[in-house]
């Protein structure tokens, strides 16, 4: 959530920042509602003060034996005015909050301008893509030929955009999860967490999925829970509503969860394979830190996600998302895009974002710099470390051989019981 005081004090700057994101829902409506809310509050307080003073006056009149009827009638009308104004407040305040909840975060000044992914500059690349002396296959063909991926039977069980991992495919998915968790907890210092795979609406509002993106979520009835779209939601909300004492920050969490997304609006895109599923596995990394440390932390978080790709020796590049391609809660984002030879393209495998104080304001995550100091809002960051299914896609396509087998990357072999190659049968 944006800082209302900042919107009020620098409306032109705020409007210009949101225009960079093509956010047309504007500052004007927020300021109109806020101005009316403050005017009503002033009016209510003045009327209540007048009523209190008149109550004392009525007491004195009654005590003197005079008729207090006219003043009582006047105060009755004042009471009706107060009731009407308080009713108006009950309408204004949720309307103001709803507009604020739908405004995206301000892009950082370092974010390049642009309107779509075509405008995202490449920051760096790592490793040249392998040159094949045969026509490389896409992972859906490789997986079917090896008997490790079955999309047809998955569709029979659940419908489109689901997958069955079989045999060595299931083992490789599990091995990738373990490799990522071991790296991030053992070498990068994250605290491993197994969070709930369902969350309430408050948690989703805290990270920015609600109310704007409800159509992308799977809701569970009865109870009103939602399946997690990403572990970012439960991890970021661990300190929600708390004031963290001096010395607590930074917090660093890592978690594996299945993720569930309706993929609303994506029909017709990536209809084959593992790229865009309703259910997929991901290892997520979350930081909660101080404002002055957050952009340095973003660089470190991104390097942690990159290290997984380096260990697996997969070619990738890092792009900086332009203002028009930023996620709702992000002030700055780096995407990691891995090379997929079966598709002849780089595809996103991780997004690493600094959300500054945007999520912390929504979720109420504050900290003290020293004992007794005024609480401040923390900064939150998140990144995929990595999307597991897409990593398996990259392994299959980059390590395929002409005979249809797939070499297992050396870093993954200890997690595969020493298996060094996937073969048919």
State the catalytic residues: 261, 276, 348, 351, 390
Q: Are 156 and 357 in contact (CB under 8 A)?
A: no
DSSP symbol at 269: S
Helix/strand/coil percentages in the chain, nearest 5: 45, 20, 35
Q: Are 139 and 145 in contact (CB under 8 A)?
A: no
Q: Are 219 and 189 in contact (CB under 8 A)?
A: no
Instruction: State the DSSP H helix or E strand holding residue 334, giving kind and residue range, or none if neither.
Output: strand 332-340
- Residue linked to tokens 């809701």: 219
Q: What are the residue ranges of helices labelled H in 103-219?
A: 139-146, 151-157, 168-186, 201-207
Q: Are 174 and 183 in contact (CB under 8 A)?
A: no
The pairs formed by 82-85 with CB atoms below 8 angstroms and a separation of 24 or more are 82/44, 82/47, 82/48, 82/51, 85/40, 85/43, 85/44, 85/47
CA dihedral 172, 173, 179, 180 (to 10 degrees): 160
DSSP symbol at 319: E
In three-state secondary structure terms, 375 is: coil
Rounded CA gap, 100 and 391, in Å?
A: 36
Q: What are the residue ranges of helices labelled H in 65-119?
A: 69-102
Q: Could you tell me the end-to-end alpha-carbon distance of the chain, in angstroms, rounded to an integer? A: 53
Q: Are 78 and 51 in contact (CB under 8 A)?
A: yes
Conformational region of residue 336, where left means phi above 0, alpha means psi within -120 to 50, and beta covers everything else: beta
């Amino acid at each position: 959530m944006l800082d209302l005081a900042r919107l009020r004090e620098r409306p032109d700057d705020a409007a210009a920042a949101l225009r960079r994101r093509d956010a047309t829902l504007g500052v004007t409506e927020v300021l109109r509602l806020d101005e009316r809310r403050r005017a009503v509050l002033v009016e209510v307080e003045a009327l209540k003060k007048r009523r209190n003073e008149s109550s004392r006056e009525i007491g004195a009149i009654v005590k003197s034996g005079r008729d207090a009827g006219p003043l009582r009638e006047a105060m009755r009308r004042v009471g009706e005015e107060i009731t009407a104004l308080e009713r108006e407040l009950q309408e204004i305040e949720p309307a103001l909050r709803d507009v604020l909840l739908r405004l995206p975060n301000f892009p950082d000044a370092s974010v390049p301008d642009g309107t779509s992914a075509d405008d995202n500059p490449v920051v760096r690349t790592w490793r040249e893509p392998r040159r094949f002396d045969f026509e490389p296959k896409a992972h859906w063909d490789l997986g079917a030929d090896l008997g490790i991926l079955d999309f047809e039977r998955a569709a029979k069980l659940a419908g489109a955009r689901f997958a069955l991992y079989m045999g060595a495919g299931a083992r490789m998915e599990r091995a990738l999860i373990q490799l990522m968790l071991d790296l991030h907890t053992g070498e990068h210092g994250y605290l491993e967490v197994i969070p709930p795979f369902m969350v309430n609406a408050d948690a989703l509002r805290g990270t920015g999925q609600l109310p704007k993106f409800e159509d992308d979520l799977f809701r569970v009835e009865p109870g009103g829970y939602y399946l997690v779209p990403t572990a970012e939601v439960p991890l970021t909300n661990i300190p929600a509503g708390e004031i963290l004492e001096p010395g607590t920050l930074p917090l660093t969490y890592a978690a594996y969860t299945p993720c569930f997304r309706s993929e609303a609006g994506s029909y017709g895109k990536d209809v084959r394979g593992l790229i865009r599923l309703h259910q997929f596995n991901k290892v997520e990394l979350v930081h909660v830190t101080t404002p002055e440390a957050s952009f340095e932390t973003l660089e470190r978080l991104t390097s942690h996600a990159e290290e997984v790709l380096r260990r697996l020796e997969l070619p990738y590049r890092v792009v900086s998302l332009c203002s028009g391609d930023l996620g709702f809660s992000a002030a700055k984002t780096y995407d990691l895009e891995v090379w997929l030879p079966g598709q002849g393209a780089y595809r996103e495998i991780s997004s690493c974002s600094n959300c500054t104080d945007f999520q912390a304001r929504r979720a109420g995550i504050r900290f003290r710099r020293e004992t007794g100091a005024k609480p401040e809002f923390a900064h939150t960051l998140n990144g995929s470390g990595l999307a597991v299914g897409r990593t398996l896609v990259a392994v299959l396509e980059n390590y395929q051989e002409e005979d249809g087998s797939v070499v297992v990357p050396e870093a993954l072999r200890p997690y595969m019981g020493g298996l060094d190659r996937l073969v048919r049968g």
